[in-house]
Each structure stands twice: as structure tokens, then as C-alpha cells.
Chains A and B, each alone.
Chain A
Amino acid sequence: MLVPLSWLKDYVDIDVSVDELEEKLFSCGFEVEDKYEVGHDISKVVVGLVKECKPIPETHLHLCKVDAGEAGELQICCGADNVRAGGKYPLALIGASVYATAKDHVTVEGVMTIGQGKLRGYDSYGMLCSGVELGLTEDMYEGAGYNGLLVLPEDAIVGADVKPIVGLDDWIFDIAITANRPDCQSIFGIAREVAAVLGTKLHEPSLDFTETEVKKEGFVVNVEAPDICPRYIGHYVYDVKIEKSPAWMRRRLALIGQTPISNLVDITNYILNELGQPMHAFDYAYLEGNQINVRRASDGEKIVTLDEKELTLTSSNLVICDGVKPVALAGIMGGLNSEILDSTGEVLFEAAKFTRDNIRKSSRALGKSSDSSARFSKGVDEYTTVMAMKRALHLVEELGCGKVSSTHVDTNTGNSIEPFKLKVSVEKVNGVLGITVPTDEILRILGGLGFAPELKGDELTLMVPAYREDMESYQDVAEEVIRMYGYDHVIPSFMPTAKVTLGGYDLKQRTELKIKHALCSAGASEGIHYSFFSPASLDLLRLKEDAPERTAIRLLNPINEDLSLMRTTLAPQMIQAMQRNQKRGILEGRIYEVGNIFVPKSLPLEEYPEELQTLCIGCFGEDESFFTIKGVVETVADTLGIKFEYETSEKTFLHPYRTARIMCGDEEIGYLGQVMYEIIDELDMRVDSYIAELSLYKLEKYYDRQQVFKPLPKFQEEKRDLCFVMNKNITCAQIEKAIRDSNDHISSVELFDVYEGMQLGDKKSMAFSVVYTPGDEEFKAETIDGFVDDLLAVLKEKYDVSLRS
């Protein structure tokens, strides 16, 4: 929120520098996000008195002698049409900084430094300035809008700095207001805090006015939706004269970036910023039926708002209606049909409280927001509503823009605007803080905040102003005390009263980290991708219509379609990560991600969906192959001390002959394979890429596997290298399993060679090392021979395998 220092000073005495003020505000909970001097770009501009002014022949220029006070008398060439001898104007001295304008002398094009110049052969030792060149507008300073020199007051002291004269020495604070302090969404609200933190006096704005005897007979207000409009105050004002607002009001509105419109409209905008209460003024002549009805809109009802946009409403929107039609979208924007015009002669002022969630939701649903809706969304209190109406009527009188009738309607649901009593224990307040704040400090702080504290023993009674709706308990009081007392009084301690507890990662978390470390050792780096992805991701995988991955949870309000589905597989983002790397010229690498997939039990969601922890691995590059990624997958099994088995399989997005299902026991736990060439082409990927996805959650049952030491064999193990010939469709896993099953003594079976070639015709050979481990007795040579014979018999029978001769 923008707060001009000069405006703030209306309500509170400030005897500190702007830096100190910023520091004080910061320490009590109001962060100054930005602060700047209004004339921060302007320097070395003084009051110049033109002593002599002679036209330069055949030009529009004048050659002037200008008294610059201490800087002496300077020769200045001036092109403005209103320069005359005896006039006082802003004079930018050599080295001064002012705004540069385009040829139109109106459009600011940047900041310039004044140097010694020469115009038509005449030296010029500075520049007489226009309002624009000082960054001023007509609203900020009377006369500054003239396209020529800015005329300074006759009593301006020659040679004096021009900034204080035209208000460029004012400061603007941009203050962040936390959501618990809607009462500070105004300049007066900030003033209350400043008075408290500086310990200086607060001055309330004038609220007095005089009602005439005039009445609008028969005027009524009906609030049909008191649940969302707890208070509605209307006051009829007549003999209205629509004019420009006075300079002081226009200047203030301009300083906070608002464009002054007319006295009556400006009053409402002024009060919104001064007190935080949005107000509205209706042209009474356009209100039909002598009444105001506050009701929910009917579905499909339409209104055209002040910005000339037509909106179609629903019953969740609140509208202000006359006897016939909606005339305003409550709390958000007025209707075009009752807009204040130059011809307006009578108005109805509205100050109301609309509930914050109604305004917030309507504003969002209709995509329409305003300063008014922003204030209401944060919360407006009725104390301020009442105050604001008085203030508006006071300003009507002060500005002389109308007469205050005695038609005043106040519809309310009975909420008090009186201070409410809050009793708390001082011990509890200190108990929250962990320090003992001296009692007189507590009383001083709470007094300064307007709580009129009274202390009896340990019991503190506060009279909390109605605008402090956030004050509910001793904790709130503790916060008020400590933010004013200072957080630097908090003394660090280390839970002296707490019980000692054990902590750290549990088994699942530890194991997860172990798996990650193992994958890192296997050369893979950990990536993290978003939990949501694009529906196109599922198409990228060529998943069938009925694939389970297509049953995904949709975000109701995604940022865009690409981030609209909760992921049901980690594969697409991994493929895209490999693509991204390849596009950036990284042509080899290994990435893994551990993340959740989201599986709904029903759609739309009625209960928590399953969040299933999943591991995805991506390997790409010339040196990678199906078997290298398989090796990475195996590190997971090795880490857990379990064994994976692999079966030939198919996936819609993988190479038809290079895809395997990963099994652990009888359970399918994932897949691995080579990304199909169609996808590689589609994504302009440059190297072969491989992917594996494992359901980590299915492996959790193995996390607490106890390691049991297996005694070393007492006798020599026997190793036999055997080379088999078989049909090409027989897999390594089949042979390996058959070998293992043939004898209990077999402790290891390892493939060490595969051969396919002319010699073998349509067959292939596979060579295995088989290790037999003895039990309690030493092997005899013939025992092993017998084992091998058994093995050959089994293989022959099962797969028609023979020993290669």
C-alpha cells in the first residue's frame, strides 16, 4: 500500500527521519517494501528570478538574465512562451538532474543532466523548467500541467531549493500489510501504528457535518442477504455540484497513483485510502423506486459495470439494486447506469460491510477486481464503515460540493462497534514469550495501541477497539507486546522443559537414501520433476485408451494444460529430461528420480488417492545398452539384498524386442527397455535412450531384511564351464533357472559367452560357469560328473539342449 509521508503526518506527529520511520515500521511488523522521495530524480533545481528577458531575433527564444541567488546571475536561453521579466521559475543549474522530454515537451523520455549549452550562438548556463521536466502533473501541483515554464509563487525565495516548494521533497512508503491486519489497509490505520511505535499523538480526521432538514421521503433500504451484507449505510446528499476536487485532494490521489475524476468520486476514493472503507456514490436520479435492495443476483442476471463490461451473474454474487434493476456489483464495482456524471445533482452515498469471502469469490469468479474488492476481500470492520460515512459527509461540506440531507439509513445485524473487553493473564502472555516483560512496559505498549489496559493482580483487562477483530486471546496480546517491545529482547533457550526424544530417519527413509546412494555410485544423478504433467505425456507413451495410466487425477485450476494431470507414471518426464539434455548437447548420461505416482480410488476424488513411491531411471548415450541400464536396475536389488528376475515383455513406448518385465518373487515390480525409435525421432533425440521404472513401494517389504551370515564352505567349491547348443528362442533366464533347479549345491550360475553363427545354423550356443558348493562332505570327482550328467539330462528334456562338442 502506498503511503505519502505528508498525508500520514495529517494524523500523527512524526519526529524521526524517513530511515528511522522505516526501521520502526519494520520492527513492529510492517515491512516497507519500497520507499522513495517523490522528486528522487530531481536535483540542483532552484528558484530563479528572471531579471531581463529579451527576444532573440528570428527565433522563438528569449535571452534571459536570471538571478539564481547564491549561484549568481546567469544567462539562460529559454524557449518557453510564458517567460517574462519579474517571473520566478524553477532553474536547473549546471549539473542539475531533471526529466528529458520529447519534442512535444510533454512525454518524459528519461532523466538528463544539465550542462552548459549554446542556442543559436548564445551561451546558456542552465535551464528554466516546466512542470513536466520536474516530474509534476497538474494534479500534483497547480499550474504544472502548462506546456511552458512552471510559474512559482511570488513569495518563493530566490536561489532556494525548488523541491519543498512544489512538494517534491515528499516521501512515498510502499508498505506490506499482513492478512491479519485489515485495519491497517489505510493511511489512517498505518498512522495508528506509527503513533503507537513512536509514542506520539494520533489525530483523528474530522468527522463533523450538519444535516439539513431536507429528507428524501419514502426512501428505504432492504438488505435481503444480511449474512453477506451485515451492514449497509446510505445517506442522501442533494444540491450536488460536480467539479474538480481541490488541489490538496487531487495531489494526494495523484501521489498514490490514482487519477482524480470529480469531487464526489474523489471523496469515495480518498476515503478508501484514508480509512480503508470502500464507498460508492450513486446518481440518485437514476435510481428507480426510491429504494435500495441488497440481494443475491438471480442466475443469468446481467449488469454493465463502470468499465462498460457486461457481466452475467449467478446467485452467489451480491448486487445492490434499486426498485427495478441492479445498480452495482456489491463491493466490487458500480453499475454504469447510475454513474456520477457532470450533470449529477443528487447522490446516495453508500458505506457498507460485505463479507470478505463473498467478495473474494465473486471477484475471482467474475474475473473482476478493484481497490474496493481488494479491501473487502481482506476484511472491513463496521467501526470503520460508520466512521467512513461521517467522513464522507464531512468532506462533502468541506469541499462544498453538496448538502447533507437528514435521510440516513443504517441497516445492520446488530454487531457492536464499541470496544470489546478482553481479559488475559499477564503470566500467560509472558509464558508465550518465555521472557518477563516489565509490567509498566506492557501497560505502555497496550495503552499506545489504544487498548486502555487495566491491571489487577495478574489479570489484564483490555478494551479492544472494534477495528481490531484479530484480537482474541493471550497469544494475540503476547504478539502485540513483543512486536512493540522488540524481538531482540527474546533470549535464546534450548527447550529446558522438554522431554528428550529420539529422532532421525526411519527404516524406510534410510533405505530410500541407501538406494539413492547406490544409484549415484552406478553413475546416475538424481533429478526431480513436477508431480503433474501433460495429458500429451500419456499420448507420447502411445498408451491405449484403457491403460491404467490414463486414469489420472485432473487439477481443477491448472496453470496450463501441460501441468494439468497428476502423474501416473514417471516415464514421460524422464524421457523429456533425456531429450532436454540431448538438445543441449549432452549426449550421454544417467538420471534417476524417486517420486510419487498418484492413483485415484475413484474419480472424482472422494477419498485420499494412493501416492505410490516409484523409481525411474533413464540412461542415454553411445555406451549405453539394454544391459547397462539393467546393471543400474540390479544395483537396487543388490542394495536390498534381493534378486530380480526378468521376463520378455512389451510396452507401447519401448523397443518390441528390447523390453523386460522386472519380477521380484512372483510380483511384477517394473519394467525396463529401450525407448522406441518413433519416440526418439518424434522428440529429435540424438542417441539411443533406455528407461526403467520400478515400484519402490512394492519393495518396502524387503527393507527390513535381516542379513544372516552364511558360513564359508569347508571344502573346495567345484566350477564347471559348460557350453550348450539350443534353439534361438530359448532365453538365458530359462537355462539359468533349469540349471539352478537341477541341484541344491549350485551356488552360482553365470553366462559368459553367447555365439550365433554359420557353424550352428539356426541354433545358438550359450556358455555358463556353474559353481557347486559342497555341504558337510568333500565332493568326489565322480559326484560332480554325476551332477553335470543330471543337468544335461534335464536341459535335454526341457529345452532340447545339448552340450556343444
Chain B
Amino acid sequence: MADLNELAGMLNEIKDEIKSELEKLDTSKSVFEYRKKIFDSKTGMVGSLMREMGKIPNEMKAEYGRRVNDMKSWAQTAFEQMDEKFKAQEMKLKYESEKLDVTMPAVKRKHGYLHPNTLIRNQIVDIFGSMGFDIYEGTEIETDHYNFTALNTPDDHPARDMQDTFYLSDRFLLRTQTSAGQIHVMEAKKPPIKIISPGKVFRSDDDATHSPMFSQMEGLVVDKGITLCDLKGMLDEFVKKIFGDGTGTRLRPSYFPFTEPSVEVDVSCFQCHGKGCKLCKGTGWIEVLGAGVVNKKVLEGCGIDSDEYSGFAFGIGIERIAMLKYGINNIKLLFESDLRVLEQIRE
């Protein structure tokens, strides 16, 4: 290298070559390859320039270095611009090639659902659990004593005709009511008692509106000074939580051997709000549960002093609530495991 002019000429030539070469490139990959080739420290047009340093006279070395570096950074910038341009184009093409019809169906992992009975049961347990009720689950097979006699329904009692009982032996039967659990709890535990007892119950009834097996939830409170007003207060809370805020209750006289007074509890129709509709058969009210003040004979039979303690009990039909809430029209559907039913009712 004789002088700086010669150097300038050479660098310009390289520049021109790169310029013309760049114009021929059309992909980011070709830019990358070309750049690699140019910058190769041994063979590259630009990369090898520094190797020439040895041949440069000392007084020119500094200037040579500066100009080569300028050249390098010019080339870098040119490549980067080129690269960016191609990358942007290529990304655009890639995106275009991946265009989707977003209205096509989702890919999902199939999910299963809890049985409507379990959903209702959980809702009821949540409500009463927060009020301090324990959950007691009795057995499906009971003795005549716990299912009837201890509930003030002795052998000759006409109330036995109210429920067609499945018998397994003289002594054992399929419980006809979760009330059987009341006695077990009161025998095992002294007041204060607050329990709900969910479970399957059985009655010899099989037609369009009856299933020989269904589910009930029994509730029992025994403590000092418990009255009918407390029953009403608690049920008011319960129906608001399960059927919605505007729902009210109405008590009317009824009869269960183990409560006195006994009441049927109607809720104001949560669909028409009392105006009268198909659901409430035009009355504005829907019968949902039976309840009453625990008969003192029942308390005494369990060794609880009825002068000191009193209580109330109530029984809810789980399917009844499920059918009302979800509008299921046939109780049998709940026991057929038809997936079109099971996968339809969700929390």
C-alpha cells in the first residue's frame, strides 16, 4: 500500500462491490451468509483487511486502522438494514402463511361435571356449614327403631302408612327419611347440637314423578330456648341463599310424628315472584320442605331434658331443589347417567 489515496480507492472498490452484491441478495439468510463470507478474518474481503496492517508503513498505520474500521461499521450498518428489511418481509410471509379461521372450534380437554344432587348438596352444606352445622352421614340401612319408633312413630302409628317402607328383615329396613340420623346424633352428643344429615332414602314408590330412591337433607338444632321463630329465621336465610335474595317463606300447618308443631314450608316463587306462573301452579308459592319443633318425646327418648332444651328439625328433598333450580322435569333423569343430562348441569 503506497499511500492513502490508494487505500481510499481500494476501500471504495470494496464498498462498491458490497453495494452491488447486496442488491442481488433477497433473503435474510443470504444476507447472513454473505456477511459471514465478507467478514471472514482470513479470506473475507473486509475481514482480512486488518491482516494487511503488517504491510502498512508505521506512519500510516493509525489512519489505515481508522479507515478500515469506518469501512467495517459502514458494512455492518448496511448489512443490518438489509437484514431488517428482509426479516420484516419474511415475518410477514410467515404470519400470512399461518393465517387461521378463528371461528373454527376450540381444542379443549373434555371436562366432567358433578351430579346435580352433589351440586345442591354442596350449596346446602356451604350455607349450613357457615352457620355452624356439622355434617352427619348415617347409614342407608337402618333399624325400625331409628327410622320410626324413636321418631315417635310406633308400630301402630298411622304415619307409617305415609311412607311405603322397604323392609330387609323384621328389624332392618331401608331408611325412609334422613331423620333417622337425628336419633343417632342426639344419643351420641349432648346439646348444643347443630347438624345436617344428607343421604339417600327409599320409598316403595315408582311412577312418573316418584323414584324409589331419592335424597334428603335433614337438619337438626337442639339448644336452650330454641323456638319456632328461630326455625323461621333460619329457613328465611337458607332460601334466600339458595333461591335468591327476594325469596321468602310461608309456614303452614302439617304433621310429622317427630315434630310438634309441624309445618310445611313454601317459598315464594323465585320465577314469577309471587305473581303466579307454571312453576308455582299459579299460586305464587312452591312447597320445598317440611319442618317443625322437635317433639319433646323424641328429645326425652334420647335422654335430653326437654325442660332445659328444645329444638327444631327440617327435611329438604335434594332432587326437589335440583329440579326446581335447574328446571329438570323428570326425577328419573337424575339416576340414568345419561351424559347429555350430566354434562348439561354445571355449577
Contact = CB atoms under 8 A, between A and B. Distances in A.
B226 A590 contact: no
Interface stretch (B34-42, B93-101, B126-134, B272-280): B126-134
B255 A180 contact: yes
Interface stretch (B4-12, B22-30, B71-79, B159-167): B159-167
Contacts of B252: 26-27, 29, 487
A492 interface: yes
A12 to B, nearest CB: 19
Contacts of B131: 503
B259 to A, nearest CB: 9
Interface string B284-306: 00000000010110000000000
B284 to A, nearest CB: 13
Contacts of B233: 492-495
Interface stretch (B48-56, B60-68, B338-346): B338-346
B156 A513 contact: no
A608 B192 CA distance: 28
Contacts of B226: 495, 497-498
B139 A557 contact: no
A340 interface: no
Interface in A18-52: 26-29
Interface stretch (A301-309, A517-525, A726-734): A517-525
Contacts of A589: 339
A784 interface: no
Nearest to B230: A495
B271 interface: no
A673 interface: no
Interface in A523-568: 523-532, 553-559, 563, 566
B122 A513 contact: yes
Contacts of B339: 525, 581, 586, 589, 591
Contacts of B194: 498, 501, 503
Given A528-B334, A529-B337, A591-B342, A493 B229 contact: yes
A581 B310 contact: no
Interface residues of B, number: 84
B251 interface: yes
Given A494-B234, A503-B128, A525-B343, A476 B260 contact: yes
Interface string A370-394: 0000000111000000000000000
B228 A490 contact: yes
Interface in A463-500: 473, 475-476, 478-479, 482-483, 487-488, 490-500
Interface string A343-369: 000000000000111001000000000
A179 B256 CA distance: 8
A379 B161 CA distance: 12
B261 A355 contact: no
A761 interface: no
Nearest to B122: A513
Given A492-B233, A611-B139, A527 B260 contact: no
B342 A525 contact: yes
B125 A586 contact: no
Interface string A73-86: 00000000000000
Nearest to A379: B158
A242 B233 CA distance: 62
Interface stretch (A121-129, A431-439, A713-721): A431-439
Contacts of B140: 531, 596, 598, 611
Given A179-B159, A500-B132, A528 B115 contact: yes
A295 interface: no
A21 to B, nearest CB: 16
Contacts of B125: 504-505
Given A503-B130, A566-B141, A432 B253 contact: no
A434 B169 CA distance: 42
B174 interface: yes
A139 B307 CA distance: 58
B310 A431 contact: yes
B337 A520 contact: no
A520 B111 CA distance: 6
A355 B156 contact: yes
Contacts of A434: 227-230
B113 interface: yes
A605 B158 contact: no
A418 B342 CA distance: 61
Interface of B: 109-115, 117-118, 122, 125, 128-135, 137, 139-141, 143, 155-159, 161-162, 166-169, 171-172, 174, 192, 194, 200, 202, 204, 206, 212-213, 221, 223-230, 232-234, 236-237, 250-255, 257, 260-263, 293, 295-296, 310, 334-340, 342-343
Interface of A: 26-29, 178-182, 355-357, 360, 377-379, 431-435, 473, 475-476, 478-479, 482-483, 487-488, 490-506, 509, 513, 516-517, 519-532, 553-559, 563, 566, 577, 580-581, 584, 586, 589-593, 596, 598, 604-605, 608-609, 611
| Smallest CB-CB A-B distances: 4 pairs | A434-B227, A434-B229, A29-B253, A357-B156
Given A563-B212, A605-B171, 17 more contacts: A179-B161, A432-B293, A479-B253, A497-B223, A498-B223, A498-B225, A501-B134, A503-B135, A504-B135, A520-B112, A521-B112, A531-B174, A566-B141, A581-B337, A584-B338, A590-B112, A608-B141
